[in-house]
Structure 1
Amino acid sequence: MSKKALVTLTNITPLIRTIRGQKVILDSDLARIFSVPTFRFNEAVKRNRQRFPDDFLFQLTSEEFQSLTSQIAMLKKGRGQHRKFLPYAFTEKGAVMAANVLNSPDAVRMSIFVVRAFIKMRELLGGTKELARQLAALENKLTARLDGHEVAIVEVLRRVMDILDPPPLPEPPRRRIGFHVEPESKSKTKRKKKT
């Protein structure tokens, strides 16, 4: 195996991308891993298309390809370096089947690395999904607690404000200035004593 073809698990992992909600590797990356020119790799896949159902392989749309080219520098300078056709995306199963189609010892060895890289990605995603679930549960729990605490804090603040700034007492009746005539009431009339 040549030095160019020597690929490790850490070199393959960044080549795995998420497209249409699936973890895939592009045909050009897979061809480079298997030490085969991309056009020869695609020829072998097209000759054995019956081995690649839709869940193994799909061709990118032009929008997906444009999105990928804007995210990574795929195009090289020079004549004959640009893609004429939209790339294929291989799932984990499709990458293993591609190694079987190529049927070379290098391809078989490299397929083991590819499978391990997909498994590592799956494990990493499984761990992050569990972590995301736990964080969501913790957030819900804290929100419920904070709602209860918020009500209690508002009540305490209202009481403290009442103590610091009590409502004003009603003013005592004021004496009026000047001459007043009060209406006579029955209880105020004096009776003369009988002797």
Structure 2
Amino acid sequence: MSKQIKSVAIPDEIVMDKIFMIRNQKVMLDEDLAELYGIETRRLNEQVGRNPDRFPDDFMFKLSEEEFGDLKSQNATSSWGGRRKLPNAFTEHGVLMLSSVLNSKQAIQVNIQIMRIYTRIRELLLTHKDILLLVEQVEKKLIKQDQKIEVLFTYLSKFIEKENKPRVPIGFKTKKED
């Protein structure tokens, strides 16, 4: 019989607001994860530092100055003020790996919630991918139609220009008509 872990009750929206797109990956920052786990950022990073083999580059990376500056300006917040080091960004796999180095019940429960949210995001993206493909097909057809309409108008404008010029009569002229 499995033992039920008491729920931490963090609203999903709060967790989702802490997922950022950096280097074309969905990541969470060390400071946000530490807050969710109920520990200090320093402690989280100490555990990561003690287990470097568990966090390869595709699980965790350090933000550059530019990325960190962009992130702060996008979110118009100064909650990251006072940091001495650039934050670590954890991919989905990195967040999962954190549960093996942080062994508190709250960390385990929060990780379960984060994994469920990542799964929901992935499902939403797959569902909307089909819709996105249909929209792209319609856009391509519209572009082709726009090009055809543009060609049609070009030909029409040439005909209109020709109608404005006097036409040369066709046929034979008699001496009287000269």
TM range (shorter): 0.7 to 0.9
- Could you tell me how far apart the structure 2 residues matched to 1:155 and 1:104 are? 75
Summarize deviations over 1:124-162 as a string: whole Å, max 9, x none: 333444333322221211222333344445545655776
Q: 1:74 aligns with which of 75, 78, 92?
A: 78
Q: For residues 147 and 50 of structure 2, what CA distance do their matches in structure 1 show? A: 63
Aligned-residue sequence identity (percent) comes to: 36
In the alignment, structure 1 residue 135 sits paired with structure 2 residue 139: no
Which structure 2 residue ranges, 5 or more long, are not aligned? none
Deviations, residues 45-104 of structure 1 (Å, cap 9, x unaligned): 11112111111111111111111122221336xxxx611111000011111111221111
Matched residue of 2:21: which SS? strand
Q: Is the 8 A contact 1:9 1:116 kept in 2?
A: no
Is the counterpart of residue 117 in structure 1 residue 117 in structure 2?
Answer: yes
Q: What amino acid is the match of 2:79?
A: L
Matched letter for residue 51 of structure 2 = N
Alpha-carbon distance in 2 for matches of 1:153, 1:50: 65
Is it true that 1:97 corresponds to 2:94 in the alignment?
A: no
TM-score computed with the length of structure 2 as normaliser: 0.78
Which secondary structure does the structure 2 equivalent of 1:54 belong to?
coil
Which has the higher Rg, Structure 1 or Structure 2?
1
- Aligned residues, how many? 167
User: 1: CA distance between counterparts of 2:162 and 2:74?
Assistant: 60
* Alignment partner, residue 85 of structure 1: 85
Q: 1:32 aligns with which of 24, 31, 35?
A: 35
Match of residue 60 from structure 1:
63
Q: Which residue of 1 aligns with 2:50?
A: 47
2:58 counterpart letter in structure 1: D
User: When the two structures are superposed, what TM-score results if normalisation uses the length of structure 1?
Assistant: 0.72
